[in-house]
Amino acid sequence: MKKFNFFKFVSVTMAVLACTLNVSCVDDNDDTEAPYLEVSPSTLSFDANGVPVAGSQAFFQISTNRHWTATVQSEKSWITLSATEGEGSADIQVSIPEGINDQATVTIAISNKVGALMSQTVTIVSGSVLPTATIYRETFGTAAPSSSPYPFVDAYTGWDKSGEGSSTTEYTGVAASVRQSGKLSAGYEGASGGAKLFFGSGSNFVINKITLQEAQTNLKLTFGGSYSKNTNGVYDNVFKPELFHVYLSADGTTWSNALTYETKQADEYWVLATSHFTLKNPTTTLYIKYVADEASVFSMDDPTLVTGPGGQEVVFDNTPQPGEAKVITIPEMIQAMTAAQTVLDATADRFFEAIVQNDTVGGNYSFNNLILTTVGATTAGNGITLYGSQVEPTAIKVNKGDKVKVTLYKGLAKLVNYNGMYEVTGAKEDTWAKVEKIGTATVTPIVITADKLVDYQGMPVTIQNATTATAGVWATNTDLSSHNFTVQTTPFVVFCKKGAGVFVDAPFNAATGAISGLAAVNRNIGQLVPRDLNDVKAFNSSAPLIVSVNPESVSLPAAGGTQEISVTCVNQGGNAISASGLSGILSATVSGTTVTVTAAANTTATAVQQTLTISLAGGNSVTVPVTVKAAGESDTKGTYTSMTPFLFGSSTDKLNAYSQDLSINGTVVEGLKLGTSSKSGFFTSGAIGVTGSKKMSFYAGAWKGESMTVYIRVNGGGSVTGSDNVAVAANAGFTGTGVFTVTFADTDYFTLNLIGLTATSTITIATDAGFTGTGGKARGVLCGIQLY
């Protein structure tokens, strides 16, 4: 019977999250966000026993914001995947049986409701399936002396290189000498036993310009290595890979992470080191650098590069090389922060120890945010957030209560006070931090007052005697959820993100009690982020509850008509919904969870305004304003259709701008969506084709539960006279994907005055005052943009 080797594995699936806790994070995965797919590594290599070869792994990682499928190449049933489809990012384990000498591909594809979007492949190699080609080998020859002085690399001429890519190679180094003294290489296949390379103080050795064929991306590197340290006559001859590093480069300037390699004891003094790797991007030139961290103890011989099955993925990305790190504290980093990103330390790595505060099971944290607190801290200013895909808690497998050591690499880790949030970050393409789990600790909340949330950000806290006047649900799968609480007269917000794990559709009561969570900051304002339902146990409820109604207000024309209101409940059971409060020309009927408002014609000169109350038996009630326009009053202040220059396709100058279809009173029109859940947006019209002084009017609404300011600028002749911006309120219809069903109120209609226009003038509409589209979160939709 064949034996399967399977590495136990936790599959990770996290949607890209809408972020209020950390305004640096990405959009909230509505279909207006561009899809992306990254799969790493591109090759997995197993030996004939079904075990990953040195430097390879048993899983590949999918990073995406769409539904994905993983399909094994036809007739390659020997490959088993831990999952074949899912939503968002995931890690997929691969297992294979013994005795397989074959290779196959796995295709990972993403799609949306329309169809396929993009795909990538992972190659699975098992056993020995390809002939080996020797690309480069160096034995260091036999010309080196057996006694001092020993020539350094730049002075040695007795090289003995071979291999199809060796003719172009050159050698450089620092404090590395060639010699035939001491114990020479022996015990492994191919050990040349002649000269060896010895590493002195601060030493390195670089093999420059190995020639590769473009198809040679799956490679195997071997070398003989020895370690010998004399301490008062006692010799230590155990090779120490942690002190001897190997790096790769395509140009001799930008270097990879240190290669992972395994060692096999060859004789009493020498080991054979082996590394299997795959170049993510093909290169025709390869550089290899060897670096010794300890002086005058390491030697090497016979570096050899051949084609192989592939393994660990190599990216040339300026990853820092190990050096002497210096300790730093969270308070010291906070003290050094400014509003602009600045390098923490350009000359030395920095490290600190902390406690992880993210609760990945509770799920109420922002993706790519690692929240850390100084060990044992009870005073303010000891919490910080690391932001980036390199520190996503589920990817590095840490959770609330884990004690970690964090190393921040020199020149790459950056500090920033981002709208009041204490953040450490780095470029997406850089490995700027390393997080190592070193133990566990108890997380105990600190009792604070509501006005201290900003000061205690990133730390677990409790606020006593907190009150909320309204019931609701903590979170939903469709929207951000910000709940208003007070302590006496001090207000504060309790925040749950979209799809926040255990909080989704979990109801709470209007009540007073203690509430816990992480202190956080959104745009310089403190808020509380609960981690699990125990944090909010004083408010949790099993009572029937109306969660929301859509639309939240009703406006009908003077001629009358009907409007359906959809009611969303939790814990409804058999409890019925009822409607009351309307009279005269207005009435309401209920069918299940739908309330229909009916209006007869209004023949008076005054608008009819009443309040509809929708109640759930045994639960709560909500009110909906209902208006019937006065006889003769226009149903709208203007058209909902925008002039051609303001339609999405008319512009080539825009950022974070999207076409958005709106259904208004049964008619679908094109709207203009600006901004995302983390960025502002702008749109510049085509030439407007009118001259002189005009009024510019439009309907606008911010995203549901948010607010927005719209800014107007005239380009190429003309200007705005008076105010150039308007504050826009949230509109319950602006959320989700597809066609938005929208109701506008009179207060959603805006007019600005423009002067000096020319036919070639254009108009820029933005949701940030700088008109850049790179400001913080500010999103909403405009329609009916007209000049008259």
Distance CA 528, CA 522 (A): 10
In whole numbers, what is the pLDDT of the chain averaged over residues? 87
Counting residues of the chain whose pLDDT is more than 70, the rounded percentage is 93
Q: How confident is the model at residue 319 (pLDDT cuts 50, 70, 90)?
A: very low
**Torsion-angle region of residue 678: left (phi > 0), alpha (psi -120 to 50) or beta?**
alpha
- Residue 592, pLDDT above cutoff 90: yes
Mean pLDDT confidence for 587-613: 94
Rounded mean pLDDT of 216-224? 93
Under a CB-based contact definition with an 8 Å cutoff, are residues 504 and 477 in contact?
yes
| DSSP secondary structure of 364-422 | -S-TTEEEEEETT--SSS-EEEEESGGG-HHHHT--TTEEEEEEE-TTT-EEEEETTEE
Residue with token string 């390199």: 390
Query: What residues have CB less than 8 Å from 331, skipping those under 6 apart?
Result: 374, 381, 382
Q: Which pLDDT belongs to residue 12? A: 32
Q: Is the pLDDT of residue 656 over 50?
A: yes
Count CB-CB contacts under 10 A for residue 755.
13
pLDDT of residue 690: 85
CA-closest candidate to residue 422, choices 336, 357, 363: 336
DSSP 8-state assignment for residue 504: B
Short-list 306, 448, 307, CA closest to 382: 448
| Per-residue confidence (pLDDT) for residue 523, from 0 to 100 | 76
- Taking residue 178's Cβ as centre, other Cβ atoms within 10 Å add up to 26
Q: Which helix (H) or strand (E) holds 273?
A: strand 270-279
Mean pLDDT of 499-521: 92
Residue 317's pLDDT band (boundaries 50, 70, 90)?
low
Contacts of 328 (CB under 8 A, 6+ apart): 344, 345, 350, 351, 352, 408
Q: Is the pLDDT of residue 54 over 70?
A: no
Give CA–CA dist 699/686, Å, rounded. Answer: 19
Instruction: State the residue for tokens 């009173």.
Output: 665
Surface-to-core class of residue 25, CB atoms within 10 Å of its CB (0-12 exposed, 13-18 middle, 19+ buried): buried
**Cis amide linkage into residue 41, ω under 30° from 0:** yes
What CA–CA distances, in Å, run from 385 to 87, 224, 329, 515, 553? 26, 43, 13, 22, 40
- Spatial separation of the C-alpha atoms in residues 327 and 323, rounded to whole Å: 13
Rg (CA), the chain: 33
Helix (H) or strand (E) holding 257: none
Q: Is the CB of residue 515 less than 8 Å from the CB of residue 536?
A: yes
Interval 770-777 mean pLDDT: 87
Please tell me whether residue 274 adopts helix, strand or coil conformation.
strand
For the record, the structure tokens of 773 come out as 């589209």
Token pair, residue 31, equals 């279909």
198 in Cβ contact with 149 (< 8 Å):
no
Q: Give the span between the Cα atoms of 355 and 368, in whole angstroms.
A: 17
- Sheet containing strand 102-111, edge to edge, reads 43-46, 116-126, 102-111, 67-72, 85-87
pLDDT of the residue at 498 = 83
Domains with residue ranges and CATH for the chain: 1-129 (2.60.40.10), 134-308 (2.60.120), 326-440 (2.40.50.140), 466-540 (no CATH), 546-628 (2.60.40.10), 644-787 (2.60.120.260)
Structure tokens, 444? 């105990």
Residues in the chain: 788
The Cα diameter of the chain in Å comes to: 113
pLDDT digits (tens, 9 = 90+) for 110-124: 887 767 788 888 888
In three-state form (DSSP H/G/I as H, E/B as E, the rest C), the secondary structure along 61-84 is: EEEECCEEEEEECCCCCCCEECCC
Taking the C-alpha atoms of residue 22 and residue 106, their distance in angstroms, rounded to an integer, is 35
Average pLDDT over residues 522-544: 90
Beta-bridge partners for 63:
38
Q: CA-to-CA distance for 679 and 777, rounded, in angstroms?
A: 4
What the block records as the tokens of 266 is 């060859």
Q: Residue 464 has which token pair? A: 């006593």
Contact 279, 308 (CB under 8 A): no
Cα 166 to Cα 160: distance, rounded to the nearest angstrom: 10
In the sheet that holds 577-580, the strands lie side by side as 554-556, 621-628, 608-616, 577-580
Q: What is the pLDDT of residues 463-475, one digit of tens each?
A: 999 999 888 889 8
Give the residue, 56 or 345, on which the prediction is more confident. 345
pLDDT of residue 188: 93
What is the spatial distance between Cα 611 and Cα 599, in angstroms, rounded to a whole number?
Answer: 13
Distance CA 655, CA 771 (A): 10
pLDDT of residue 355: 97
Taking CA atoms, 290 is separated from 3, 275, 301, 324, in Å, by 38, 13, 12, 17
Amino acid at 381: G
Which pLDDT belongs to residue 131?
A: 61
Residues 549 and 597: their CA atoms lie apart, in Å, by 13
